[in-house]
């Protein structure tokens, strides 16, 4: 018989990507874009806006024009969410939108991941 784990993650240290950590509504995206603050990397732009929430929230925008194949768009979104999940506890309480701004064709997975990490590190505290 399997027993329950002894240690359960609290909501603050949980590494899941809960609905509370996502930007979902058009108004939420619009307010971040309207704030007009961004950090630019080689492939990505990270738009941000301070929020009243107790944690960071993420939205991802990958244009078909830059990543033609759905497989590629979905992969980039998964990578972004995974990176956010692991770094959420260390990020400031901002609403964030990670947007692809140049074609990822010449880039490897490691290049994309390092650029995402780079823009998250440059985020003002």
Domain assignment present for 11: no
Q: List the beta bridge partners of residue 39.
A: 46
Structural domain range at position 43: 24-121
Number of structural domains (the chain) is 1
- The pLDDT tens digits of the residues spanning 58-105 come to 999 999 999 999 999 999 999 999 999 999 999 999 999 999 999 999
Q: CA 108, CA 62: separation in Å to the nearest integer?
A: 17
* H or E element in which residue 39 lies: strand 38-40
Percent of the chain with pLDDT over 90: 78
Domain assignment present for 2: no
Domain assignment present for 18: no
* Pairing label, strands 44-50, 38-40: antiparallel
CATH number at residue 49: 3.30.230.10
Q: Got the DSSP string for 41-109?
A: -SSEEEEEEE-SSSS-EEEEE--TTT--SHHHHHHHHHHHHHHHHHHGGGS-SEEEEEEE-S--TT--H
What's the rounded mean pLDDT across residues 5-17?
A: 54
Domain assignment present for 5: no
pLDDT at 57: 96
Give pTM, 2 decimals.
0.85
pLDDT at 11 over 60: no
pLDDT at 13: 55
Domain assignment present for 61: yes
Q: CA 47, CA 92: separation in Å to the nearest integer?
A: 13
Domain assignment present for 66: yes
pLDDT at 30 over 50: yes
Domain assignment present for 7: no
């Amino acid at each position: 018989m399997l027993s329950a784990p002894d240690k359960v993650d609290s909501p603050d240290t949980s590494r899941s990507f809960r609905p509370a950590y996502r930007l979902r509504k058009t108004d939420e995206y619009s307010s971040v874009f309207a704030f007009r603050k961004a950090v630019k990397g080689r492939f990505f732009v990270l738009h941000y806006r301070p929020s009243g929430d107790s944690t960071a929230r993420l939205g991802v925008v990958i244009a078909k024009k830059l990543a033609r194949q759905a497989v590629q768009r979905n992969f980039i979104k998964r990578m972004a969410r995974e990176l956010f999940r692991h770094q959420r506890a260390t990020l400031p309480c901002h609403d964030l939108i990670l947007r692809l701004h140049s074609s990822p064709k010449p880039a490897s997975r490691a290049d994309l991941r390092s650029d995402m990490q780079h823009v998250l590190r440059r985020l003002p505290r």
